[in-house]
Amino acid sequence: MSERKYRQGGYQDSSGPERERTQKPKPAPKERGPRGSSRDVPRRMQMPGFQELLRCAMCGAVVPNSVEITEGSQCPKCSADLRCCKNCRHFDTGAQFECTEPILKRITKKDIRNECTYFVARTSIERETHDSGGPAIRPSSARSAFDNLFKK
């Protein structure tokens, strides 16, 4: 090896104390308790459930599952017709006549009641966001909700 100006080891040095690899001792495996101890029991995951909902196309209100959609069905919140093209599963603005089914004539008003034979209510699967474990505590105002956070 030739003499270097700076005595700093580099990648070309194959010997020397800094290049020697030291084997770290592996830690001993942790002792586990007997089966059935509290450490070995997996925790129950708190995952929210899913539910199938029908929402009004006009206002977005949830329509109860008990409501059967017939010719005269209306939204409980905005009184819009529920049996219309906008609430149909086959409604698609990019398809011919805005319907994925082979209809013969275009229905011009998509938000009013019609008698289409292909109508199927559009449902969506959403997460349950309410706590089903007990009664929901709803504060009467934002101020009382803030105060409830810092109760002593």
> Is there a domain that residue 149 lies in?
no
- Could you list the residue range(s) of the whole structural domain that residue 116 is in? 48-127
Judge whether 106 lies within some domain.
yes
User: How many Å apart are CA 39 and CA 51, to the nearest integer?
Assistant: 34
Establish if 122 belongs to a structural domain: yes
Q: Does 53 fall in a domain?
A: yes
Average pLDDT over residues 76-99: 88
How far are the Cα atoms of 48, 72, 127, 145, 149 from residue 133, in angstroms, in the given order?
A: 11, 36, 15, 20, 20
Q: Which of 45-49, 100-104, 140-144 has the lowest mean pLDDT?
A: 45-49
- Does the pLDDT of residue 131 top 80, yes or no? no
Is 41 inside a domain boundary?
A: no
What are the tens digits of pLDDT across the range 15-33?
A: 555 555 566 778 877 666 5
Look at residue 134 in the predicted model and tell me its pLDDT: 46
Name the strands in the sheet holding 50-55, side by side, starting at the edge strand that comes first in the sequence: 62-63, 50-55, 123-127
| Cα-based torsion angle of the residue sequence 72, 76, 78, 82 in order, rounded to the nearest 10 degrees | -40
Q: Is residue 143 part of a domain?
A: no
Average pLDDT over residues 79-96: 88
Report if residue 71 sits inside a domain: yes
Into how many domains does the chain fold? 1
Q: Does 58 reside within a domain?
A: yes
